[in-house]
Amino acid sequence: MKKNIIVHKAESRGKADHGWLKSRHTFSFAGYYNPERVHFGALRVLNDDIVKGGMGFSKHPHDNMEIISIPLLGDLEHKDSMGNTTVIRQNDVQIMSAGSGVVHSEYNKNKNSEVHFLQIWVFPKKQNIEPRYDQKTFLKSNRINKLQTIVSPDGQDAIKINQDAWFMLGSFEDGKTISYNFRSKNSGLYAFVLEGKFKIAGQSLEKRDGMEITEVNAIEIEAISNDAEILLMELPLSGF
């Protein structure tokens, strides 16, 4: 395997089962520690969470972290010390810039069904900013056989992040190939397969597999199944 390509197979992730919460950790988190997977540049946490009906995370604090939530199934209710009370659903993306400090809670809005979501933490570019919250709906129809930017530093047609980072979602038909060109020579790319199968840089990836990609300017991404969905995250590599 090329030195600039590292594959994280789905089953190699950390695992936690708290009854009400089942979580898989791509990077070290809580009781899971892997010295080779503490973070990928600015990408600190990539958790794949399933929360039982009516259950959730009670009020807890954060500071100086960019926290992105992407619901995959169900409805997640968010409340915070900034006065926000919202529900995020499939095709929504939420970001909370914790900055100088914020308290929030997250609960499964529904009593009789699970909520499944990705929670992603990114180290911020600027410390101790005023806390900020945003969310937006991104229609799947706008990412068929192409990439849809959902997070960016300027927030143009996306939600704004306090970091030189870009997140993209794509949903592809079997055989569709695209080229992704890096936005910055100082960036790395983390690819995370949500559904289906892909081939990236000659490596086959399946559902919930991840891949670290560095030291290149562009990468070819090929879907090798129908309804193949992927999340790409380009982030700075140094200074963390």
| Size of the chain in residues | 240
Q: CA 145, CA 94: separation in Å to the nearest integer?
A: 23
What is the per-residue pLDDT for 2? 66
Taking CA atoms, 89 is separated from 38, 98, 153, 169, 229, in Å, by 29, 21, 23, 16, 17
Calculate what percentage of the chain has a pLDDT beyond 90. 95
Other Cβ atoms less than 10 A from the Cβ of 110: the count is 16
pLDDT digits (tens, 9 = 90+) for 41-66: 999 999 999 999 999 999 999 999 99
Q: CA 239, CA 100: separation in Å to the nearest integer?
A: 20
Q: Look-up: residue for tokens 């380009």? A: 234
Tell how strand 5-8 and strand 85-89 pair up.
unpaired
CATH topology classification for 140-236: Jelly Rolls (2.60.120)
Domain ranges (residues) in the chain:
13-137, 140-236
Among the listed residues 74, 22, 14, 20, the one whose alpha carbon sits nearest the alpha carbon of residue 46: 14
Other Cβ atoms less than 10 A from the Cβ of 219: the count is 19
- Threshold 0.85, pTM exceeds: yes
Asked whether 118 and 183 are in contact (CB, 8 A), the reply is no
Q: Which amino acid is at 13?
A: R
pLDDT digits (tens, 9 = 90+) for 145-170: 999 999 999 998 899 999 999 999 99
Asked whether 84 and 133 are in contact (CB, 8 A), the reply is yes
Q: CA 110, CA 3: separation in Å to the nearest integer?
A: 45
What is the per-residue pLDDT for 10? 98
Q: CA 34, CA 13: separation in Å to the nearest integer?
A: 9
Asked whether 135 and 95 are in contact (CB, 8 A), the reply is yes
Answer whether 13-137 and 140-236 agree in fold.
yes
CATH superfamily to which 13-137 belongs: Jelly Rolls (2.60.120.10)
Q: Which amino acid is at 223?
A: A
